Amino acid sequence: MTDFDAHMHTLKLRVTNPRKTIFEALSDASEPLSIGDIQKHCRDIDRVTLYRTLEMFTKNNIVKIIHIGWKKQYELTDLFQPHHHHFRCTTCQDISHVSDSEVEEAIDTISIRHGFTVTSHQFELEGTCRYCLTGNTNRELLNK
Ligand SMILES: [Zn+2]
Ligand SMILES: [Zn+2]
Ligand SMILES: [Zn+2]
């Protein structure tokens, strides 16, 4: 994984406290965050700085915008965390990671078949999670 400070240095961008704090909030998260979620982790940072930083991060391949449902959410790019996709449950809004190699192999196979060179891809899968499907809200029990 790429080091944040080193990446910023390569881009000739300064590592300021707000930038570092926002990066860390995204880095600590196990799922994509909305602006509101990020703000909760960065209470000392004003909204304008937050928006500007996220815009700068997006331009510089640090953060990617994920459109989950109608909401815009933010997540670190593949430079800073392992490549994956998301399952989003439309009932409980739970987001889980999908990192099955079959998905990536299928994309390779399809792109070769069409003579297309894929440099990046993004997709999210929506539906019903197994907890909502069974009506069992006790995740602990089901996981046993
Ligand atoms: Zn993710
Ligand atoms: Zn669910
Ligand atoms: Zn993929």
Tens digit of pLDDT for each residue in 97-139?
A: 899 999 999 999 999 999 999 998 988 899 999 999 998 766 6
Q: Kindly give the distance from the C-alpha atom of residue 65 to the centroid of ligand 3, in angstroms, as a whole number.
A: 15
Q: Kindly give the distance from the C-alpha atom of residue 100 to the centroid of ligand 3, in angstroms, as a whole number.
A: 8
Q: Kindly give the distance from the C-alpha atom of residue 69 to the centroid of ligand 2, in angstroms, as a whole number.
A: 14
Q: What is the mean pLDDT of residues 52-69?
A: 92
Q: Kindly give the distance from the C-alpha atom of residue 64 to the centroid of ligand 1, in angstroms, as a whole number.
A: 10
pLDDT band at 45 (very low <50, low <70, confident <90, very high): very high
Q: Kindly give the distance from the C-alpha atom of residue 33 to the centroid of ligand 1, in angstroms, as a whole number.
A: 9
- pLDDT of 143 > 90? The answer is no
Q: Kindly give the distance from the C-alpha atom of residue 34 to the centroid of ligand 2, in angstroms, as a whole number.
A: 19
- pLDDT of 4 > 90? The answer is yes
Burial classification of residue 19, based on how many CB atoms lie within 10 Å of its CB (0-12 exposed, 13-18 middle, 19 or more buried): buried
- Residue 114 backbone phi and psi in degrees, to 5: -95, 5
Which has the closest alpha carbon to 19: 40, 49, 60? 49
pLDDT band at 140 (very low <50, low <70, confident <90, very high): low
Q: What is the mean pLDDT of residues 83-110?
A: 92
Question: What residues are paired with 73 via a beta bridge?
Answer: 66
Is the pTM value of this prediction over 0.85?
Answer: no
Ligand sitting nearest the alpha carbon of 86 = 1
What is the reported pLDDT for 144?
46
Burial classification of residue 32, based on how many CB atoms lie within 10 Å of its CB (0-12 exposed, 13-18 middle, 19 or more buried): buried
Higher pLDDT pick, 103 / 1? 103
Distance CA 30, CA 80 (A): 13
- pLDDT of 70 > 80? The answer is no
Which has the closest alpha carbon to 82: 60, 98, 102? 98
